[in-house]
Amino acid sequence: MTAPCKGCPDRDYPHCHMVCERYKEYRAEREEIMARKAEIANIREIKSIRLNKWEREELLKRKRKGL
C-alpha cells in the first residue's frame, strides 16, 4: 500500500498531508491495519506463553516419572 502523497499532482508543499483528505482516509485505514496486527501479535504472545507453560509442565511430569 502506497501513500497517496507519492506522485500527487496536488502536492503544493512538504507535509501537506495534514490537510489532504486522501491522506486522512489512507491514514485511518493504516491505523486500522496496525491495530489488527497488534491484536494478532498479542494473541500469538498469549498462545506462546500458554504453550511454553504446557511444555514445562509436560517436561516436569516426564522428569518425575523418570523418563
Return the domain boundaries, the chain: 16-65
Q: Is the model's pLDDT at 67 over the cut of 70?
A: no
Tell me the per-residue pLDDT of 4-26, one tens digit each, with 9 for 90 and over.
Answer: 877 888 877 777 877 888 889 99
CA dihedral 44, 47, 51, 53 (to 10 degrees): 120
3-state helix/strand/coil string of 8-50: CCCCCCCCHHHCCHHHHHHHHHHHHHHHHHHHHHHHHHHHHHH
Entry pTM? 0.61
Tell me the per-residue pLDDT of 37-46, one tens digit each, with 9 for 90 and over.
Answer: 999 988 888 8
| Separation between Cα atoms, residue 66 and residue 25, nearest integer Å | 61
